Amino acid sequence: MFTVTIGMDPDIARIGPLLLTWHGLFTAVAILAAVWLAGREIARKGIAIPNFDLAVLLTILGGVVGARLFFVLDHLGEYLREPWRILAITEGGLAVYGGIIGGTLTASFILWRQRVPIGPVADAVAPALLLAQGIGRLGCLVNGDAWGGPCTCLACAGAGPAVPTQELGYCPFALRYTNPKALLPADLLGVPTHPYPIYDMAVNFLVLAILWRLRRRGLPDGSLFALYWLLYGIGRFLISFVRQEAVWFWGLQQAQVVALVTALVGALALAWLLRRRTPLTAPVGS
């Protein structure tokens, strides 16, 4: 049990009006990695997408808009006080589920207009999304915008301010943010918190490993994407218990409610697809 102190400045450099941040850098790396892996899988499946580069660009924009919209709605009071910060996406504040939904809707519309089968493309993209989500959490780890709640950690004794009375319980190790620019609430600055970004990275890479092993098994088209929604939804629901966000109802936070809905949708879609038994397209090797 130990505490990891993160005192890094979330900002790398300011060049004129442009602010380069660690969150923005890792987001860019995550997008590039996702485009590379998705393109590789689409090519392996022999899928032809007209104007592929434009489709990718529009899908990325749809994902970023959705991610920012979800985050702003979840922190609406804060952004109503400072509306000019709504477009400041480089400082952090991109909700994963908003990105998934925004990107999925955008890509589905584009593929529908181009009459490209959605299922095979969705299966090719699912591992890429998980890779991007895992890499993107590195930015959250630096700037603290996906913070965990305060925790009890024996190794944290003497590591900073006393753990608040609303602590969420024991954790195997803790993160302690000390830079005043970190995006977690001010009352958590210097306080040992659950390493939520690391938990989320672990969920993403675990689900990625599962999907990667299944991608050549001849499952019905769309099954991998449905399994992605199901498994990530379950994982996200469980790890969100150590977060400190506003409760919607029944003691559940927004992320947990969305996770349950997406997991349910994924489970129903997967059950429906598997009942068809015969894949819609034959698997392509190599």
Residue whose C-alpha is closest to residue 52's, from 225, 60, 96, 126: 60
* Number of helical (H) and strand (E) elements in the chain, helices listed first: 8, 6
pTM comes to 0.80
Residue 55: inside a domain: yes
Number of domains in the chain: 1
The tokens describing 146, both together, are 């996906």
How many other CB atoms are found less than 10 A from the CB of residue 167? 18
Residue 63: inside a domain: yes
Residue 102: inside a domain: yes
The pLDDT > 70 percentage for the chain reads 84
CA distance 12 to 38: 29
3-state secondary structure 36-96: HHHHHHHHHCCCCCCCHHHHHHHHHHHHHHHHHHHHHHHCHHHHHHCHHHHHCHHHCCCCH
Residue 265: inside a domain: no
* Helix runs in 183-244, H state only: 196-214, 223-239
How many CA atoms does the CB half-sphere of 88 hold within 13 Å? 13
User: Which H or E run contains 111?
Assistant: helix 96-114
Residue 17: inside a domain: yes
State the residue range of the domain holding 153. Answer: 2-207
Q: What contacts 119, CB < 8 A, 6 or more positions away? A: 220, 221, 222, 225, 280
Q: pLDDT of 264-279, one tens digit each?
A: 999 999 999 988 765 4
Low-confidence stretches of the chain (pLDDT < 70) are 1, 74-75, 77, 82, 84-85, 88-94, 152-170, 277-286
The tokens describing 231, both together, are 């498994």
Residue 202: inside a domain: yes
Q: pLDDT of 85-126, one tens digit each?
A: 677 665 556 677 778 788 889 988 998 888 888 889 999 999
